[in-house]
């Protein structure tokens, strides 16, 4: 499992599901997998890497044996997507506390930003979801 790149997201949040759809559509290698924070897999996974139980308002990305959260997670995912998304990594020059403050504002309002409707993934895309 440590060789997988995994996005952990709030499975009941429309904004989060929209973010997953953007990643699915733009993952240039099709190697990013997805797990709902509410899943038993996520609980077991976080325990196995000695991390606290994940917070529903936080976006996590596990890549190359490292767990990223909030803005660091988003920027590291962007690096793996099709152009122009990797350009977003330039925001890494902004101090983390400022980036995470902006992230927290969006996270606080995420349930209002998008509906809970989402497209149905293809068979290939379904294979990238871990439950």
- Any idea where the domains of the chain sit in the sequence? 5-130
Q: How far is CA 109 from CA 17, 34, 104, 120, 127, in A?
A: 14, 22, 9, 24, 30
Residues 6+ apart with CB under 8 A from 22: none
Measured in degrees and rounded to the nearest 5, phi and psi for residue 90 equal: -60, -25
Query: What is the model's pTM?
Result: 0.84
57-100: pLDDT as tens digits: 899 999 999 999 999 999 999 999 999 999 999 999 999 999 99
Whole-angstrom distance between the N-terminal and C-terminal Cα of the chain? 13
More confident site: 83 or 129: 83
What pLDDT is attached to residue 107? 82
């Amino acid at each position: 499992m440590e060789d997988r790149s995994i996005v952990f997201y709030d499975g009941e949040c429309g904004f989060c599901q929209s973010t997953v759809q953007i990643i699915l559509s733009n993952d240039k290698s099709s190697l990013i997998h997805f797990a709902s924070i509410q899943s038993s897999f996520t609980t077991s996974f976080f325990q196995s890497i000695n991390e606290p139980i994940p917070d529903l308002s936080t976006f996590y990305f596990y890549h190359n044996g490292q767990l990223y959260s909030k803005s660091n997670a988003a920027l590291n995912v962007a690096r793996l997507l099709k152009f122009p998304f990797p350009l977003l990594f330039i925001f890494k020059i902004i101090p983390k506390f400022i980036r995470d403050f902006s992230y927290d504002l969006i996270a606080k309002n995420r349930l209002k930003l998008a509906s809970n409707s989402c497209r149905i993934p293809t068979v290939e895309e379904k294979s990238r979801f871990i439950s």
